[in-house]
Structure 1
Amino acid sequence: MDRDDTTLRVLSTSDLAGLDIALTDVVDTVEQAYRTLAAGQSDNPRKLTVKPADGHSVSYAMLGRDGAREVVAVKTSYKHGLRESRDKQHYYTTLTLYDDVTGLPLAMMDCSRIGSLRTPAVSALLARECAAPGATTALVIGTGTQGRLALPFLLTTLPDLDRLMLSGTHPDGIAAVRAELDRHFPGREVELVTDATRAARDADVVVATAGPHTPAAVEAEALKPGATAILVGHGLAPSTLHRADRVIATSEAQMRVTGTDMADVHGDLPAVDLELPAALSGAARARTAAGQRIFAYNSGLVVTDIALGHRFAQLAADQHLGTEIPLWK
């Protein structure tokens, strides 16, 4: 079917699962999105959030434009059952792309795989920009969706890491972390630790990806001088933010929307010293002294979803994947 302004290519979970993409391709795509944003060529407005008073669900809506790819997109995210165990939660996220040159719709897709790749790629970029010189040891807290690819992406941007530690309690998640590491870096091993705080004392880079029910809560005093602590989900105590020598965020505005659980007793969050796009553009350095303890907050920016989603849409079109739906007829 020829594409026109009445049809939309829909890419399902299974369509996207069949696409191979190198970790370096993901990192490069995400980094380009940040650089384009830093250059003022893209638009990434603050996300909208809806959450009922009892906190049983949360939903987000994000609109953005990638100036390098000339693509406009809308991402929606909805999670239900926040107080339930992971297997009882419902989570749906979609991305709809439009070509801002032709004016035609490009694709609507399940955004779960994009998020599962984009988020650890961003953590890896934060680690590359923030890690102290000579960093060799990494600790990942959590074995869920974001924890499973954290180590392969860290090795992509910090290839000199030689000790890899994992704090997790779910056997299936632990097995998945090991499988992903072996798939991308055959022969590399991960050390399972039972005490995240003790392990953090040895880590140059700590990436906290755990869910909200994790017992792990590494405090600031457990981080050695020069350590970088990256928060994606849970696993770090608020002190790691409030007592950090430097605070880096993908977006300060987004941190103030989604990082309220890290606020102090007065409900306040400290100011951000630098945002990641500026660091990647070379405008400023994330780390200004070797001994600084740096806290980095990884929250999603829709421009990175747009860039990676567009890359997947290109790969899918090349392989004739997806279903053309006459949505507007």
Structure 2
Amino acid sequence: MTGTSARTDDKTLRILSTSDLAGIDISLTDVVDVVEQAYRTLADGRSANPRKLTVKPEDGHSVSYAMLGRDGVREVVAIKTSYKHGLDKSRDQQHYYTTLTVYDDVTGLPVAMMDCGRIGALRTPAVSALLARECAPPDSRSALVIGTGTQGRLALPFLLTTLPRLDRLMVHGTHPDGLAAVREQLHHHFPDRELEVVDDVRTAAAEADVVVATAGQHTRAAVESDDLKPGALSILVGHGIAPSTLQRADRVVATSAAQMKVTGTDMADDNGNFPAVDAEFPDVLADRATGRRSADERIFAYNSGLVVTDIALGHRFAQLAIEQGLGTRVSLWQ
């Protein structure tokens, strides 16, 4: 199904709020499938994902991103904006706003403008789960998530969606409410699985086949390359693993090599350089590149997120919202 507007001349814009999207039921498998299709379509050259634009003041107290893209299967164009304020403050003092505006590229009409918070909270761990499916060592049984914020809370349920044989599920965090939320999400999606809270993150990393770093920038966790077991996969989403995990990796996979150089500057070496990216993830999913070559190589994967995945998932939410009559119609251009 392509665009979700009714293909009339209705130019009103449907606004989907946080509460509108919160009430939409969507399975983890559905999310993974939508995200995977978006990557495959990009690898096939049918979608466009230009490099993101970034604005950051000299004192680093805020950061803004603007991302434009086109989904060639769904035939929609969208613009995502992201603004975070208070990077120099604690998590509860920060402000974060992100929106996605989708247009039907067949009719030329607007589809919806929506809060992109839930979309990002689902899309990012789905990408990590796909990276794990393609790049984790064979017969992986243990996973460690560092961080209990938005991206950490669904990391384990998504990992279990693509790697159901995982049987040791560890989390490291310092916020009691965050740890409780991680446990709640795990038991909601997988009631029979148990969560192990670890205090010594470096010791836990040495026992994990997959390490997913989602912590905020003020975390004290800093897993080094030497902490990782042979064959381990480390996935960087936020913070929690040191630059050595990238600089000394046997193989580097990135959702986008260009974006890694824009948003991953804290992982560069002392001269500001990055190792070469051995494979971009869309090509791995499309069987044009290899994720893992051997069981014992340590792989570093950079999950920066591509706007085409936000577009695909946002469009899916717009479809479901329209079917359910959700949202507010605004005559923005009248």
Cα-to-partner distance string for 1:106-125 (whole Å, 9 max, x where unaligned): 00000000000000000000
> Which residue in the other structure is 2:161 paired with?
156
> Which residue in the other structure is 2:223 paired with?
218
> Which residue in the other structure is 1:128 paired with?
133
Cα-to-partner distance string for 1:158-180 (whole Å, 9 max, x where unaligned): 00101000101100000000000
> For the residues of structure 1 that align with 2:217 and 2:171, how far apart are their CA atoms?
17
> Which residue in the other structure is 2:108 paired with?
103
> Which residue in the other structure is 1:203 paired with?
208
Q: Is residue 2:132 matched to residue 1:119?
A: no
- Partner SS, residue 146 of structure 1: helix
> Which residue in the other structure is 1:303 paired with?
308
- 2:29 pairs with 24, 27, 38, which one? 24
> Which residue in the other structure is 1:277 paired with?
282
> Which residue in the other structure is 1:233 paired with?
238
- 2:180 pairs with 175, 186, 190, which one? 175
Paired letter, 1:253: A
> For the residues of structure 1 that align with 2:287 and 2:125, how far apart are their CA atoms?
21
Paired letter, 2:37: Q
Instruction: Quote the offset at 1:5 in angstroms.
Output: 4.5
Gaps of 5+ in 2: none
Instruction: Quote the offset at 1:267 in angstroms.
Output: 1.0
> Which residue in the other structure is 1:42 paired with?
47
> Which residue in the other structure is 2:321 paired with?
316
Task: Tell me: CA distance 1:286–1:271, structure 2 relative to 1, closer, same or farther (3 Å).
Answer: same
> For the residues of structure 1 that align with 2:131 and 2:44, how far apart are their CA atoms?
19
Paired letter, 1:13: T
> Which residue in the other structure is 1:93 paired with?
98
Task: Return the TM-score normalized by structure 1.
Answer: 0.99
> Which residue in the other structure is 1:53 paired with?
58
> Which residue in the other structure is 2:294 paired with?
289
Contact 2:125 2:155 in 1 (8 A): yes
Identity among equivalent positions (%) equals 76
> For the residues of structure 1 that align with 2:239 and 2:9, how far apart are their CA atoms?
44
Cα-to-partner distance string for 1:126-149 (whole Å, 9 max, x where unaligned): 111100111100000000000000
- Partner SS, residue 83 of structure 1: coil
Alignment: residue pair count: 329
Q: Which segments of structure 1 move beyond 4 Å, counting only runs of 4 or more?
A: none
Instruction: Quote the offset at 1:47 in angstroms.
Output: 0.1
Instruction: Quote the offset at 1:285 in angstroms.
Output: 1.6
Instruction: Quote the offset at 1:279 in angstroms.
Output: 0.5
Paired letter, 1:39: D
> For the residues of structure 2 that align with 1:166 and 1:115, how far apart are their CA atoms?
21
> For the residues of structure 2 that align with 1:123 and 1:22, how far apart are their CA atoms?
16
> For the residues of structure 1 that align with 2:276 and 2:68, how far apart are their CA atoms?
25
- 2:87 pairs with 79, 82, 101, which one? 82
> Which residue in the other structure is 1:252 paired with?
257
Instruction: Quote the offset at 1:269 in angstroms.
Output: 1.0
> For the residues of structure 1 that align with 2:203 and 2:262, how far apart are their CA atoms?
31
Gaps of 5+ in 1: none
Instruction: Quote the offset at 1:10 in angstroms.
Output: 0.3
Task: Return the TM-score normalized by structure 2.
Answer: 0.97
> Which residue in the other structure is 1:140 paired with?
145
Q: Is residue 2:331 matched to residue 1:326?
A: yes
